Structure 1
Amino acid sequence: MKLNCVAIDDEPLALDLLSKFIEQTSFLNLIGKFSNGVEALGFINQNEVQLIFMDIQMPDLSGMELARVLDGKKNSDKTRIIFATAYHQFAIEGYKVEALDYLLKPYSYEEFLNAATKAFSYFERLNSSTTTITATQETSTPEYIFLKVEYQLVKVMLKDIACVEAYKDYVKVHLLSKPNPLLSLTSLKNMEELLPSSHFMRVHRSFIVALDHIDSVSKNVIQVGNHSIAVGDNYKDAFLEFLGKWMN
């Protein structure tokens, strides 16, 4: 699946950078770029656009005004916004119009990719929920995520993840299918947001475990394959609640 995107920014250099980031991301498809919101709105009304990356402070029609117009339209959940702006004071307003994320200029490709991946997961869930659900189907969850590993995006199947470990400025993603973990430049907090809570749980400040792959639990220590992971004090209550359901 590719997401149709538009980029909107009245600053030419910022618009070029935003367009470049979109074009180098494999699951995004740039179908338009605009220097003002009025022109962009006309295009969005005539085309199928899933994701809008845009600045907030622009002449004629600001990004926030455009967001409010789109929010009032039918099926507004099928067109989502990621703001890219130099003004952090607009963050609260951004969340009021249900922006998916908020990039503060100057932002890196890593930050852009984290926001784009969040959008991809959102549309995966949206597409799953609109598909006819049979009585035997489980609650729909995304089947995979994309992680930045060195200089490429790697598709990782969720069912292959045993646990995720914080490692300095990176995370180690331990897979069932590979002897060595994937090393990705992102945070454990971001991984916690990407991974569906129905199948993954943070049990320590340095670990997220796949609930389906827990082999045993003893004295607040979880065994996942060859990994023995202690349950941190701040995570015990949530894990004990899960464990109570597991034992019933």
Structure 2
Amino acid sequence: MPRRLSAVIVDDEPMSVDVLRSDLESFGDIEILAAVNRASEALASVPLLKPDVLFLDVELGADSGIELLQTMRAKGLEPSTRVVFYTAFDKYVIDALRSSAFDFLLKPYMPDELYKVMERIRTDFSAGRVAEQNISELTMRMPASSSGRFAIQTVNSLMFLRPSDVLYFEYSGIRRCWSVVLSDLKSHRLRMSIKARDILVLSKSFVKVNSDTILNIDYLSYVENGSLRCVLVPPYDSISIVASRRHFSDLRDALTML
């Protein structure tokens, strides 16, 4: 039987606390140890309560949840505590990642988003892992913002892109990593930890057309019968991308077929 998890909520909005508490209790295996609305209360109680999961709002009145986490860690917050930042403002997400949050939620969250966060936490605990934070892995779970942008970690920088900025992704078997090719035809190598499945969840327009290529089908003009060559819209029509028969069904399913 899965172990019960303990949680503390730190949020200065009573309505948000009530909603999150109710949603967490509905899982049946989560005990809410406390819900506090001030940074000073959290600093005094959380290290002593030693929760498995800490839900921490980024904005706590005049205080910052990100700075509060750093202070709590200095005061002895258990390394095994999984920290989930949640906020109505996606501008804070990258700061949250840099502060080594385990995960994050954007308010108002959908029930399935909270479910996925809790499933990741349960999996982590059941595997007996020590809480480890990896900015590249968390970034790939980052949902699109209200402007449609997403963040992706290259070997040199953290890039903020819209799906329309991306022409395709290509995999190098020699380097064992993916690269993103942008609409300006510049290529940027991604971190080795980024997998095809991480890329595919970023946009419904990203479809794997062969084992080494994920294409933004918004740039697809047509697919040649027989050869399965993917012809892109000008000025990209000279680029040679051929769909494999194995992946052609995925491409077909992603398109409206008449």
State the TM-score, normalizing by the size of structure 1.
0.50
Answer 1 or 2: which has greater helix percent. Answer: 1
TM-score normalised by the chain length of structure 2: 0.48
Between structure 1 and structure 2, the one with the greater Rg is 2
